[in-house]
Chains A and B, each alone.
Chain A
Amino acid sequence: MSNPFFIQSNSFLIIRVIAVATIGVIANLAALTGSALAGSQTGTDGKTSILVQSTTSTANSGLYDFLLPHFQKNNDIEVRVVAVGTGQAIRNASNCDADVLLVHAKSAEEKFIADGFGIARFDLMYNDFVLIGPAADPAGISKATDTVEALQLIAQTRSLFASRGDDSGTHKKEQALWQSANISPLTAWYRSTGSGMGATINTGIGLGAYILTDRASWITFGNKNDHIILHEGDSSLFNQYGIIRVNEQRCGNVNVSASQTFIDWMLSKTGQDLISQFKIDEQQLFFPNASSAQ
């Protein structure tokens, strides 16, 4: 055994590496304390920032990538978007981990306001849900006259159906639709994935299953395989998006002026016009319909 205290020549190299590494850690810890003191109100470069808890479809479709540069041209506010399912977004906002909530489940949003977590809810825009499935359409839902009939056909033929199963806006809509079609219990042909829209579409395509999705997520989805839209246009498939500012009296950390600036801009003519200009493959994904507070 060599004497462990004998300083070998290679130790210099190791010591140098450790020194550089330690400096790195210290720099990061300084950044950590700095951001801790500043809180979530300021961004990396000291800029004002707000946190938006959002549904996935708006983020995954690229809507924010399109809108936010326009917003930031005239406003020095960094908008940080966390994209999760509507249920989770509302839970996160209820924990005060948001300034603004942008989701699509009207009754859950109204409950959020009634519980005192949000100030007011505004209609922002809409699109619609569609039923997609394998082009061969084993249940024959493309001939259905309405959504209730389409779902009944899926249940009668026991064709596979992939559900979000994650308490998201889409999942809530789907549950309401099954209820209006008077179908329960949902059995072996009904597969609950418990995951996001994209993951559910990936699973559904793998299974050759029918899936309820919002149109924006489907249009922007890159792995469509032989799945196509088989049922659309029913009034029950309407999909309304709402925007809410988190109540600063409940959550002291909310940046009131910055989040109100953002919401006002989204509801303004500029914001609404830009929403209608956002297109993928020549198709408009969201239709602005802001009016007054509800």
Chain B
Amino acid sequence: MQDFSESFSLAFQLLTTFDPDLVEIIGLSLRISLTATLLSCIFGCLIGAALATTRFPGRTVIIILVNALMGLPPVVVGLIVYLMLSRAGPFGWLGLLYTPSAMIIAQTLLITPIVAALSRQLLEDTHTEYREQFESLVMSHSQQVRALLWDCRYGLLTVVLAGFGRSIAEVGAVIIVGGNIEHYTRVMTTAIALETSKGNLSMALALGIILMTLALVVNALVSGLRINSTRLGYA
């Protein structure tokens, strides 16, 4: 199809000329998604570790709930955050609606359950495996958690990548709370939605190709880090 070849050459052209608008949009996309991923990583791993290592009534219900929240529709998260941050809403006084911060908040809410649910499973499996050893070493709870997080670090890296993948590809939430404002809250996915709505399908697809390349680069960097550190570990 003509659209595809045109899109590839357009994507190549945009990338090689360092189109300033595109650079700005890519920068904002990465800033928002990486920040949201890091925040979710902190909250999600803590929730995951807590659920994996403690036993309390209602725990199963919470696990089911967290697992179900992995399927949170972005547009619903966007709507909830919109209602919270709107001037008419409870946090309207913060003046955060239609800012990059609102987008970070929405994406953090969206991907924290993913990180929490996946890390819970990973840590719980490892915890079961290590239990006897933990008991024989008479380790405190926080020592156990630290040991689990450290030994599961590579698995957790994949969990974090799953969260990042969700956030960088997501459009439903950020378009509602960010408003797709040019030079301010426009990111890759909302730019793609805009170009599609203008009927500029080749441009939309070209931006899609660039977004996928971006995700590939981030994933490659993380794998590089992992291979590199493993090699160092054996050196």
A residues in contact (CB < 8 Å) with B: 1-2, 4-5, 8-10, 13-14, 17, 21-22, 24-25, 28, 31-32, 35-36, 38-41, 43-44, 51, 56, 60, 64-65, 80-83, 92, 94-97, 196-199, 201-202, 220-224, 251, 253
Do A222 and B147 have beta carbons less than 8 Å apart?
Answer: no
Residue among A32, A38, A202, A251 facing the most chain B CB atoms (10 A cut-off): A32
Besides the known contacts A13-B229, A36-B94, A202-B196, 14 further A-B residue pairs in the complex with CB atoms under 8 A apart: A4-B151, A10-B232, A13-B228, A13-B232, A14-B153, A24-B34, A28-B104, A35-B96, A82-B180, A92-B86, A95-B87, A196-B197, A199-B197, A222-B201
A97 touches which of B98, B228, B229 (Cβ 8 Å): B98
Nearest residue, chain B, Cβ from A251: B87
Interface secondary structure of A, over-half rule: helix
Contact flags (1/0) for B171-189 with A, using CB distance below 8 Å?
A: 0000000011110100000
Minimal beta-carbon separation of A165 from chain B (angstroms): 15
Do B98 and A24 have beta carbons less than 8 Å apart?
Answer: no
Q: Which residues of chain B come closer than 8 Å to A97, judged between CB atoms?
A: 86-88, 97-98
Q: Which residues of chain A come closer than 8 Å to B92, judged between CB atoms?
A: 96
B142 at the interface (CB under 8 A from A): no
A220 to B147, CA, bound (A): 59
A103 to B163, CA, bound (A): 38
Count of inter-chain pairs, beta carbons less than 8 A:
120
B235 touches which of A9, A21, A81, A220 (Cβ 8 Å): A9
Contact flags (1/0) for B210-227 with A, using CB distance below 8 Å?
A: 000000000000000100
Do A80 and B199 have beta carbons less than 8 Å apart?
Answer: no
Interface secondary structure of B, over-half rule: helix
B31 at the interface (CB under 8 A from A): yes
Q: Which residues of chain B come closer than 8 Å to A60, judged between CB atoms?
A: 194, 197-198
Q: Which residues of chain A come closer than 8 Å to B151, judged between CB atoms?
A: 1-2, 4
**Size band of the B side of the interface?**
35 or more
A198 to B194, CA, bound (A): 9
Do A80 and B34 have beta carbons less than 8 Å apart?
Answer: no
Pull 16 A–B residue pairs with CB atoms less than 8 Å apart, ordered by A. Answer: A2-B151, A4-B151, A9-B235, A17-B225, A25-B39, A32-B104, A40-B97, A44-B184, A51-B98, A60-B194, A80-B98, A80-B179, A82-B98, A82-B181, A95-B88, A96-B87
Chain B stretch 98-117: residues in CB contact (< 8 A) with chain A: 98-101, 104
Nearest residue, chain B, Cβ from A40: B95
Q: Which residues of chain B come closer than 8 Å to A8, judged between CB atoms?
A: 233
Minimal beta-carbon separation of A87 from chain B (angstroms): 15
Do B198 and A222 have beta carbons less than 8 Å apart?
Answer: yes
Q: Which residues of chain A come closer than 8 Å to B130, judged between CB atoms?
A: 1
Q: Which residues of chain A come closer than 8 Å to B194, judged between CB atoms?
A: 60
A31 touches which of B34, B101, B181, B182 (Cβ 8 Å): B101
Nearest residue, chain B, Cβ from A92: B86
Q: Which residues of chain B come closer than 8 Å to A39, judged between CB atoms?
A: 94-95
Q: Which residues of chain A come closer than 8 Å to B34, judged between CB atoms?
A: 21, 24
Minimal beta-carbon separation of B111 from chain A (angstroms): 14
A28 touches which of B35, B86, B153, B200 (Cβ 8 Å): B35
Do B199 and A253 have beta carbons less than 8 Å apart?
Answer: no
